[in-house]
Amino acid sequence: MTVFPKGFLWGGAIAANQAEGAWQADGKGPSLVDVTEHGIGKSEHDDAVLPGKYYPNHEAIDFYHKYHEDLQAMSEMGFNCFRTSIAWSRLYPTGEETTPNEAGLRYYDDLFATMKKLGMEPVVTISHYETPLALHDKYGGWTDRHLIDLYERFCRTIFTRYGDVVHYWMTFNEMNNTHTIPYAAAAIDLTGDTDHRTQQIYQAEHNMYVANAKAVKSARELMPDAHMGIMLSLSQAAVYPATCAPEDVFGAMQMQRRTFISADVQLRGAYPAYAKRIFAEHHFELEMGPDDLQLIHDYPSEFLGFSYYRSSTYAAGTPLYGDTGGAVGKPNPYLKATDWGWQIDPLGLRWMCNLVQDRYNCPMFIVENGLGMKDTVSADGSIHDPARSDYLKAHVQAIGEAIKDGCNVMGYTWWGPIDIVSAGTGQMSKRYGFVYVDKDDEGHGTLARSKKDSFKTYRQIIATNGENVFTD
Ligand code: BG6
């Protein structure tokens, strides 16, 4: 008996905006990220593209023109799936056109066909921090209900076009990050006092819940066999109380609920009881359409996709700090941290799998996990990155243990199997890849690709269907 089931999905994940570049090619319109310099996770952005300024995502790693070569490398590692997103503004440059941009559609036709040819199931995030900029400028992002119908049109277009080849879909990347990185996750610039900010966050999330339900409804009609999932960051749900003081323990639970509310609504089909109190204490009521709750009830999602990079620690009274990895309170003295301060905790991943299993009893897909670190290229061109291999093995082992615990894990996609632009910082030097890309933080480099030592590590893991992490 092997630990990982037959057909387990092994692969890697990227987002269109962090890899493709080609920000204006073939009719693409600007998205949120195209006016950010130091990462979309920072929420600071220009109002428009400033002439002569360097924007790291404009070229990114030019995956738009190099995906044949890049997917070939992924296939050499044995990937049987690959996760990416569809850049909304490549298809609908302002988000409001009534017909999609055919050149954009053709690009994804070939991208998915290439994956299929190489034996990889495409796994698609419909919206990954890349709302068309025009929708932010005109409507102020997801706090406005206009986005629901525009998103539905986008979904119907891609379901109709790609429904035969794409069977795994997730509607919004890390929706719960609206709390920590609202510009990225919900295209909003938070304004006003605490009550008003909280209202904006929950209103944006509500509108996205409705959009999710409408996407599930469209999917049932247009591609009945598709698997429809949500996607959340669980790094901030793996939250330990800093002490056994009841305030720390209870506060940690409340912090978890801030994440799980999204899953409670979209997987169970209704707002949980605790939501009412959050809204009341912040003096607002959600604006809802007459059919919203019925739609949410009738069209729940089927699986929970999640990212997990690190765990968090909650101490009552300590202000929370947030970035792309989610929210953290105090540093955890029992864990080591990366150069970017992300604390490494494989057991936290096993915990999250078990929590999801207990709470929702649904299939789960670990669609992001990885280690962002600096890499050094040796004189002979080799790149030795044992820390990345260790991180990978430890987390795959944790997933194996979770499966032995009884968790229904569908697959695992390492974040950034090829170096891409960091969402949190805009850096290239925060590298996750098994494949190195020759480009620095100022945009210099040849864009040449080369394999790191960890490439082999992942290839071996996949070749043994995860067994070698228990025996080697
Ligand atoms: C997740 C995002 O939050 O974390 C990705 O879905 C992101 O877009 C990843 O790249 C890692 O974060 P960062 O800031 O290191 O790129």
pTM of the predicted structure, to 2 decimals? 0.97
422 in ligand 1 pocket by Cβ < 6 Å?
A: yes
Question: In ligand 1, which atom is closest to the CA atom of 416?
Answer: 10
Catalytic-labelled residue, pool 368, 401, 442, 467: 368
The answer to the question of residue 328 being in a domain is yes
**Among protein residues, the one whose CA lies closest to atom 15 of ligand 1:** 422
> Strands 81-85 and 121-127: what pairing?
parallel
Q: How far apart, in whole angstroms, are the C-alpha atoms of residue 87 and residue 28? A: 9
423 in ligand 1 pocket by Cβ < 6 Å?
A: yes
The answer to the question of residue 309 being in a domain is yes
Question: 387-394: long-range contacts (C-beta < 8 A, 24 or more apart)?
Answer: 388/432, 388/434, 388/452, 388/454, 388/457, 389/453, 389/454, 389/457, 391/344, 392/454, 392/457, 392/458, 392/461, 393/457, 393/461, 393/469, 393/472, 394/344, 394/346
The answer to the question of residue 1 being in a domain is no
Q: How far apart, in whole angstroms, are the C-alpha atoms of residue 447 and residue 66? A: 10
Mapping DSSP to helix (H, G, I), strand (E, B) and coil, where does residue 121 land? strand
Number of domains the chain contains = 1
DSSP result, 231-280: EEE-TTTSEEESSS-HHHHHHHHHHHHHHHHHHHHHHHSS--HHHHHHHH
The answer to the question of residue 3 being in a domain is no
* Residue 37 annotated to the active site: no
- The per-residue pLDDT for 336 is 96
Q: How far apart, in whole angstroms, are the C-alpha atoms of residue 251 and residue 6? A: 40
**Among protein residues, the one whose CA lies closest to atom 7 of ligand 1:** 423
**What dihedral angle (degrees, nearest 10) is formed by the CA atoms of 418, 416, 431, 260?**
180
Q: Which residue has the tokens 């819940």?
A: 209
DSSP 8-state secondary structure symbol assigned to residue 289: -
Host domain of residue 164? 9-471
372 in ligand 1 pocket by Cβ < 6 Å?
A: yes
The answer to the question of residue 239 being in a domain is yes
Q: How far apart, in whole angstroms, are the C-alpha atoms of residue 232 and residue 266? A: 11
Q: How far apart, in whole angstroms, are the C-alpha atoms of residue 293 and residue 72? A: 45
The answer to the question of residue 211 being in a domain is yes
Question: In ligand 1, which atom is closest to the CA atom of 424?
Answer: 14
- Amino acid at position 305, single letter: G
Give distance in angstroms: CA of 136 to centre of ligand 1.
21
41 in ligand 1 pocket by Cβ < 6 Å?
A: yes
Q: How far apart, in whole angstroms, are the C-alpha atoms of residue 313 and residue 292? A: 35
Mutate to test the pocket of ligand 1, among 309, 368, 369, 432 (most ligand atoms within 8 A of CB): 368
- The per-residue pLDDT for 320 is 78
CATH number at residue 428: 3.20.20.80
**Among protein residues, the one whose CA lies closest to atom 5 of ligand 1:** 423
Q: How far apart, in whole angstroms, are the C-alpha atoms of residue 159 and residue 172? A: 15
53-91 burial, b at 16+ Cβ within 10 Å, e below that, comes to: eebbbbbbbbbbebbeebbebbbebbbbbbbbbbbbbbb
Nearest-CA neighbor of 12 among 263, 388, 275?
Answer: 388
Question: In ligand 1, which atom is closest to the CA atom of 372?
Answer: 15
- The per-residue pLDDT for 325 is 79
Residue 409: its H or E element: strand 409-415
125 in ligand 1 pocket by Cβ < 6 Å?
A: no
- The per-residue pLDDT for 18 is 98
Report residue 318 CA to chain centroid gap: 27
- The per-residue pLDDT for 329 is 82
The three-point CA angle 228-230-231 to 5° equals 135
Mutate to test the pocket of ligand 1, among 20, 415, 421 (most ligand atoms within 8 A of CB): 415
DSSP 8-state secondary structure symbol assigned to residue 344: P
- The per-residue pLDDT for 330 is 86
The answer to the question of residue 2 being in a domain is no
Question: In ligand 1, which atom is closest to the CA atom of 177?
Answer: 3
- The per-residue pLDDT for 327 is 79
Q: How far is CA 72 from CA 78, 119, 195, 417, in A?
A: 10, 10, 50, 12
pLDDT tens for each residue of the chain, 472 residues long:
689 999 999 999 999 999 999 999 999 999 999 999 999 888 789 999 999 999 999 999 999 999 999 999 999 999 999 999 999 999 999 999 999 999 999 999 999 999 999 999 999 999 999 999 999 999 999 999 999 999 999 999 999 999 999 999 999 999 999 999 999 999 999 988 999 999 999 999 999 999 999 999 999 999 999 999 999 999 989 999 999 999 999 999 999 999 999 999 999 999 999 999 999 999 999 999 999 999 999 999 999 999 999 999 999 988 777 788 777 788 899 999 999 999 999 999 999 999 999 999 999 999 999 999 999 999 999 999 999 999 999 999 999 999 999 999 999 999 999 999 999 999 999 999 999 999 999 999 999 999 999 999 999 999 999 999 998 8
The answer to the question of residue 336 being in a domain is yes
- The per-residue pLDDT for 326 is 77
The three-point CA angle 75-79-71 to 5° equals 40
15 in ligand 1 pocket by Cβ < 6 Å?
A: yes
